Amino acid sequence: MVGTRRDIVLGGLALFGVASVPKPAFAAASSYFDGTAIDNGVTFKRTNFARIDKRWHRQVVKYFSSEPIGTVVVDTRHHFLYLIMENKTAIRYGVGVGREGFKWFGRATIDRKSLWPRWTPPPEMRKRHPELPEFVEGGSAKNPLGPRAMYLLRDGVDTGYRFHGTLEPGSIGKDASSGCIRMFNEDAIDLYQRCPVGTAVQVLPHIADQAEGAAQVSAAAPIE
């Protein structure tokens, strides 16, 4: 195991935060999209990956860890999510993470998954942003969860956090959410397909910070 097993620490007021309010600087950047695609009968904007720094592109990397194959590990400092695979490799995804005051770390489990989920802003978020609607239907162009949501629970209790898509591709690689882990919509679809219910998740400030000796250091490098 990389690091010690710790309880999830919820940051600031993000006890049940799901996503941050879309920021016009990101949402209005039409260059981040390129055409449309259809998924389960829903048309959505495709990410323009030519506009995205290659470091955030999904890729297979070398990865050394004592975590079991199939575990998801999030390095929040460097904005990467790793799905551990065979032969000391992992699929690495660029992600957006919680902004200051909304960060959290610890272990959880993907205990529920949803296609084109409805988004219901939690009460705490609506207090901060009373202009938000009571809910946004799944598949809506204004739904910040995008095409997929994977719900993170601990001991059967909902943490309030999810892995999900985004309306703001420009926020990937940044501290931008209210605690949830944002992904490009295409990456959220990919991870959803690969992670069954019960998948173990570990969210860390930084992978190397949790190492307890050289044998346990997790490291990743692109496979050419």
Biggest distance spanned by C-alpha atoms of the chain: 51
User: 47: closest CA among 182, 161, 163?
Assistant: 182
Whether 206 is a known active-site residue: answer no
User: 91: closest CA among 70, 53, 61?
Assistant: 61
Catalytic residue among 57, 129, 164, 195: 164
Whether 164 is a known active-site residue: answer yes
Q: Which helix (H) or strand (E) holds 189?
A: helix 185-194
Domain boundaries, given as residue ranges, for the chain:
14-222
Neighbour-count burial for 32-48, b at 16+ CB within 10 Å, e otherwise: bbeeeeebeeeebbebe
The pTM of the full predicted model, rounded to 2 decimals, is: 0.79
Asked if residue 147 lies in contact with residue 116, where contact means CB atoms within 8 angstroms, the answer is: yes
| Gap between the Cα atoms of 73 and 63, Å rounded | 11
Asked if residue 170 lies in contact with residue 31, where contact means CB atoms within 8 angstroms, the answer is: no
Report how far apart, in Å, the C-alpha atoms of 23 and of each of 20, 46, 81, 88, 144 are: 8, 19, 23, 38, 11
Mind listing the pLDDT tens digit of every residue in the chain (224 residues)? 334 333 333 333 233 334 444 444 444 457 999 999 999 999 999 999 999 999 999 999 999 988 999 999 999 999 999 999 999 999 999 999 987 656 778 999 999 999 999 987 777 777 788 877 777 899 999 999 999 999 999 999 998 899 999 999 999 999 988 779 999 999 999 999 999 999 999 999 876 543 333 233 344 555 54
| Gap between the Cα atoms of 85 and 179, Å rounded | 26
| Gap between the Cα atoms of 77 and 217, Å rounded | 16
pLDDT (tens digit per residue) in 68-86: 999 999 999 999 999 999 9
Pick the CATH number of 14-222 from 3.30.565.10, 2.40.50.110, 3.90.550.10, 2.40.440.10: 2.40.440.10
Catalytic residue among 57, 78, 79, 180: 180
List, in order, residues 6 or more apart from 145 with CB less than 8 Å away.
18, 19, 117, 119, 138, 162, 164, 165
Residue 88, classed as helix, strand or coil, is coil
